[in-house]
Amino acid sequence: MRLSKQGVGRRAVADASDVSASIIAQIRCGRRTQIRKRTLNRILEVTNLAVSDAALVPAGKTWRQIHTLLEEGFSRAELARRLGFASPALQLGKNRILARNAARVDRLYRLFMKE
């Protein structure tokens, strides 16, 4: 459940842990209550780094980074261009954004802010 809240879906967990997606789904909904220790350990070893590019993740940190970059003198159009967007507008959701866009903003932020 904690991974789900961070944008890591059952298929991403299945891929990262090498456990069937159907088994993951059964465990999550409570139909499967007994699993092998090895299976449990493989599932528990999965971190939020397994998030897929198209997963929706919370946008709060990303917007804080964008606002900091804007305060440093970047225009929205300049940020959009450096992020690789086709239009000169930052078209990102306020609450949730794609993981790939969050990663793009984070890379740009670390490049200029030297965190």
For residue range 66-110, what is the model confidence (pLDDT) as tens digits?
999 999 999 999 999 999 999 999 889 999 998 889 989 999 999
User: Which residue did the predictor score with more confidence, 11 or 67?
Assistant: 67
Query: What is each CA distance from 34 to 23, 24, 59, 110, 114, in whole angstroms?
Result: 11, 12, 36, 44, 47
Mean pLDDT, range 41-47, rounded to an integer: 84
pTM tops 0.85, yes or no: no
% of residues, the chain, pLDDT over 90: 46
Alpha-carbon span 108 to 90, nearest angstrom: 14
C-alpha distances in Å from residue 60, one per residue of 7, 30, 63, 86: 14, 31, 5, 23
Residue 6 C-beta-side C-alpha neighbours within 13 Å: 12
Q: What does the alpha-carbon distance between residue 109 and residue 33 come to, in Å, rounded to a whole number?
A: 43
Question: Has residue 8 got a pLDDT over 80?
Answer: no
Position 1 confidence tier, pLDDT thresholds 50, 70, 90: low
- Is residue 7 within 8 Å of residue 47, measured between CB atoms? no
Query: Does 4 score more than 80 pLDDT?
Result: no
Positive or negative: CA dihedral 92, 94, 98, 104 = positive
